[in-house]
With several copies, the nearest count.
Chain A
Amino acid sequence: MRITVRLFARLRDIAGAAELRRDVGPESTIGTVWRQLVHEFPDFASYERSISSAVNADYARMDQAVNDGDEVAFLPPVSGG
């Protein structure tokens, strides 16, 4: 199945893109998608313990399943305010 990945701030800089389309296997979770991206962009690895995520613009945990067509976002530590 095919998903959209949204990347922000330094993750976007590392990947060189704000949005990616990626194919993922059945029964994938957000964590699966993340590990696939770490493989593709080794510099993502330093965010292993500080990343958070969202699916379809709602907060989600890394063990949440993803579905075809989902928008999966990875959020480096935030600095609003």
Chain B
Amino acid sequence: MSVPLLAIGSAPLALEPLIAAVSGPTEAAGPAPGSYGAVAAFLGLVRNHNLGRAVHYLEYEAYEPLALRAFEHIAAETAERWPGVRLALHHRVGRIVVGQASVAIAAASAHRADAFSACRYAIERVKQIAPIWKREFFEGGDVWIEGATADPGDQQARAAAERVACA
């Protein structure tokens, strides 16, 4: 069973397949199996509260072809900043109930510092530039959540993500 490194879809997310994808045997051009000493991973979960509202569920929508390009863009940035890191990034769309995952990320590296930084950087960049939107269905109503203006060329945003990644 093998999953793509970058994906967007409506199926529930799990981390194990991403971890296997980044740390397992690689294609001929990649590093030898066993060259990774660390995997850092992240799951974003739907919380039962947001801004004081009792949340029932979220609905995510995406501009899927552009979201995949955004993920490729993020993977390329990560590879440029942390050479040797392999990144997997899956985002779920559709209705996601409290406690379930909306995003899963895994980053494998020879050493843990780069794995942690790359993983953290990736989730920051997803939030900055991926064309994905969530609508929050809470006790008493619903609202589109609007965060960052998506601009992959915004170097200030990219620098902020690197700072937060403790790079």
Contact = CB atoms under 8 A, between A and B. Distances in A.
A58 interface: yes
A8 B62 CA distance: 8
Given A6-B63, A77-B146, A52 B151 contact: yes
A77 B148 contact: yes
B88 interface: no
A10 interface: yes
Interface of A is mostly: mixed
Interface centre among B66, B67, B91, B131 (most CB of A within 10 A): B131
Given A77-B147, A78-B147, A81-B102, A57 B127 contact: no
A63 B128 CA distance: 22
Nearest to B130: A80
Interface of B: 44, 60-63, 65-67, 69, 91, 102-103, 123, 126-135, 144-153
30 contacts: A8-B63, A9-B133, A50-B149, A52-B149, A57-B65, A57-B66, A57-B69, A58-B69, A59-B69, A59-B151, A59-B153, A73-B131, A76-B144, A77-B147, A77-B149, A78-B127, A78-B128, A78-B130, A78-B133, A78-B146, A78-B147, A78-B149, A78-B150, A79-B127, A79-B133, A79-B134, A80-B62, A80-B103, A80-B134, A81-B103
